[in-house]
Amino acid sequence: MADSQEIVLKAASSSDEALLSNLLELYIHDLSDVFPELELGSDGRFGYPQLPLYWSEQERRFAFLLRCDGRVAGFVLATRGSPATEDTDVLDIAEFFVMRRYRRSGVGRRAACLLWRALPGQWTVRVSEGNRGALHFWAGVIAEFTNGTAIESRRPGHPNGWRVFSFESAPPPANKPLQPTRRAGAAAPRLKRKG
């Protein structure tokens, strides 16, 4: 369980670009089940052309490495501005990846909460409706984090529609730990649905 593990979400720097690039390959490979149009390049890599922008546009793009007990466990790429809204100041999870060995252990939940508290503000989280596992994960984590105050809406997309969660995060009080507060086995709050 993540409660007994040290979970750290640390801002990445350009010196982490090779590591992030390698992790992105694993992530995109996983996503190729949901997005069949993702194709390998002639070099055997999917590639992620936007990665260099996380070093040149640091006021709008935020890269983080996730570690569990000191070991690389994943990454988060967040942006200011989202395809789901015209608000250029809203924060958006562009990519979120937890390595398989750390999934279903609370590591992803803790990482999401650490992210939202590190970057307080208005957030959107977009999830392909074809990605059932991610949809279940995000609905639960967001409901827990917001105590059910997030707004959930739908947007068209190809090959699947999108579920969009909107909410506001605030930094934690100085005396509170950066982790979810729901006890194991406690029911998660439900989200408000829009439309």
pLDDT at 25: 93
**Closest CA relative to residue 163, chosen from 141, 144, 139:** 139
- The domain that contains 41 carries what CATH number? 3.40.630.30
- pLDDT tens sequence for the chain (195 residues): 556 789 999 999 999 999 999 999 998 888 877 777 777 788 888 889 999 999 999 999 999 999 999 999 999 999 999 988 889 999 999 999 999 899 888 999 999 999 999 999 999 999 989 888 899 999 999 999 999 999 999 989 887 889 999 999 987 666 555 444 333 334 444 444 444
Quote the pLDDT of residue 172. 66
CB 189 within 8 A of CB 146: yes
Q: Are 9 and 115 in contact (CB under 8 A)?
A: yes
pLDDT at 24: 95
Task: Count the domains in the chain.
Answer: 1
Query: What is the per-residue pLDDT for 43?
Result: 86
Provide the residue range defining the domain that includes 151: 2-193
